[in-house]
Amino acid sequence: MISSGRLLAGQPRRNSSSICVFVGAATAVALAIGCGMMNNSRSPMPSGQTISFAFVSNSGSGTVSAFAVGSNGAISTVSGSPFSSGAGAEFMAFDSVHKLLFVNNQTANSLSAFSVNTSTGMLTSVAGSPFATGSRPTAVAVDPVGRFVFVANQASSSIGVFSIGTNGSLTPVAGSPFPVNSPYGLSVNAAGTVLYATNFPDSQVSDLNTVAAFSISSSGSLSPIAGSPFPDANSSSGFAAGIGILADPSGKFVFVGDHMAESVVPFSINADGALAALSTLPTPATSCGSSCHNNPLRLAVDPADKFLLSTNVEAGTVSIFGITGSSGLMSLSQATTGSHPFGVAVDPSGGFVYVVNKSDATISGFQLNSATGMLSPLPNFPMTEGQQAPTDIVIVPKM
């Protein structure tokens, strides 16, 4: 448990220098929303039509669970679930072009690839899967047109790049892996031309806590953009721990969840892909007990590109921000989740939000108000996920 000073598998390290705030470009409004009673049923049946499928990685059991999402937001287990992936299965990414789900297996140093049946939610392992990566692979990302998959190898300080074959097979591109200081989070811009990576060192807070930016060539090779890596506005100290990262689909912003500084930092994107921080990190407190940690971890944006969501792993909450036209973020509300929330995703309809909670192995479900950004707990959530240590979630529309 983090509160006792021990690290969960795949959990970033933290020290005692932290402060409990949210950073936004406008005045923050915090509205606490409670969650319903725990439901120990693993598979509440959706009423009405299945609209999408939710895939959850389980780092403790090395599997991927598959769920059908109903039109009322309820979820039920897909036949054949869970599917075997690899030891330490955690970060995931979906290739919408080839209908492939990629899963990084941290302990096994491998990347699993599955073909997704978008009619049934069934997963089928791709020939040759799992594929070898560098040491301790963390984030995985796919370019929007399905050419390449990128893997952050945190312990070996590199990013692996694979070309994606029509049958889902992966081939390292020339020059891969590319050297990068302790990459952790990854995100590709909407045009598929720039890759962003948080540089998060294993051991302690340092000047490596920055965001690196790379241009992506037609062959998949990576070249640092001028000025990379980019610090936050407190350039003398760098990030306290940049973890989650998300390139906004509008192409205007990159958002970084700063794990130790208790904030989500927006960056504006220049024409060449370079970054400029729009807000300053708070000054960390000299000491802080576990009770005052928010520790932003994973980020998601709704399909309409109106709201950003951030899981707060220590606080057991998810924060909702409005994405503004110029200043980046405006804090809107906060909702209670299960214990140690990790992955967060919005379903393709934009109506539902799901959070996977690592410590109590549950899934929290909410209805998203598309006008206000408010979250309302769905009936029968949180629900038991059924596997060990769920860490990430990807939602794919039914086709």
DSSP string, 133-182: -SSSEEEEEE-TTSSEEEEEETTTTEEEEEEEPTTS-EEEPTTPSEE-SS
pLDDT at 203: 55
Tokens of 265: 């930092």
Contacts of residue 319, Cβ cutoff 8 Å, sequence gap at least 6: 22, 264, 294, 296, 309, 310, 312, 331, 333, 334
For residues 44 and 30, the model is more confident at 44
Name, in order, each residue with C-beta under 8 angstroms of 210's C-beta and a sequence gap of 6 or more: 198, 199, 229, 230, 231, 232, 238, 239, 242
Number of Cα atoms under 13 Å in the Cβ half of residue 112: 27
pTM for the full model?
0.85
pLDDT band of 278, cuts 50, 70, 90: confident
Q: 399: helix, coil or strand?
A: coil
Query: Can you give the residue ranges of every domain in the chain?
Result: 2-397
Largest separation between any pair of C-alpha atoms in the chain: 55
Distance CA 288, CA 302 (A): 33
Predicted confidence at residue 202, as pLDDT, reads: 62
Dist CA 61 CA 254 (whole Å): 32
Runs of H (alpha helix) within the chain? none
From residue 397, alpha-carbon distances to 63, 200, 385 in Å are 21, 32, 20
Omega prior to 382 cis, within 30 of 0: yes
Residue 73 confidence class, pLDDT cut points 50, 70, 90 = very high
Sequence-distant (6+) residues with CB within 8 A of 171 are 162, 163, 165
User: Average pLDDT over the chain, rounded to whole?
Assistant: 83
Report the alpha-carbon distance of residue 326 to residue 78 in Å, rounded.
42
Chain centroid offset of residue 382 CA: 20
- Predicted pLDDT of residue 33: 30
Q: Provide the pLDDT for residue 232.
A: 64
Q: Is the per-residue pLDDT at 81 higher than 70?
A: yes
Class of domain 2-397 (CATH, top level): mainly beta
Of 103 and 24, the one with more pLDDT: 103
SS3 state of residue 240: coil
| Average confidence (pLDDT) over 150-161 | 96
Q: What is the mean pLDDT of residues 366-381?
A: 95
pLDDT-derived band at 111 (thresholds 50, 70, 90) equals: very high
Helix (H, G, I), strand (E, B) or coil at 330: strand
Range 254-262 average pLDDT: 74
Residue-level pLDDT at 259: 64
- The yes-or-no verdict on residue 356 having pLDDT over 50 is yes
128-147 tens-digit pLDDT: 999 999 999 999 999 999 99
What pLDDT score was predicted for residue 330?
86
For 278-361, strand residue ranges (E) read 296-301, 307-312, 317-323, 329-336, 341-346, 352-357
- Nearest in space to 213 (alpha carbons), one of 257, 171, 300, 276: 276
Question: What separation, in Å, do the N-terminal and C-terminal C-alpha atoms of the chain show?
Answer: 40
Region 74-102: what's the mean pLDDT?
Answer: 97
pLDDT above 90: residue 395: yes
Alpha-carbon distance 221 to 284, whole Å?
38
Q: How far apart are CA 59 and CA 56, in angstroms?
A: 10
Do 200 and 243 form a contact (C-beta atoms < 8 A)? yes
205 phi/psi in degrees, rounded to 5: -65, 130
Query: 203 or 259, which is more confident?
Result: 259
Rg (CA), the chain: 19
Q: Please, which pLDDT band fits residue 164 given cuts at 50, 70 and 90?
A: very high
Pairing of strands 32-33, 329-336: parallel
Cβ neighbours around 155 below 10 Å, total: 14
Q: CA nearest 121: which of 87, 149, 81, 91?
A: 81
> In the chain, pLDDT over 70 holds for what percent of residues?
78
Q: Which two tokens stand for residue 163?
A: 């070309």
Question: 3-class DSSP state for residue 4?
Answer: helix
Write the DSSP symbol of residue 292: G
- 378's CB contacts (< 8 A; 6+ apart) are 36, 72, 73, 74, 352, 365, 366, 367
Given a cut of 60, whether residue 15 has pLDDT beyond it is no
Which residues lie across from 103 on neighbouring strands?
92, 112
Query: Which residues lie closer than 8 Å to 286 by C-beta, 6 or more apart?
Result: 17
Length of the chain: 399
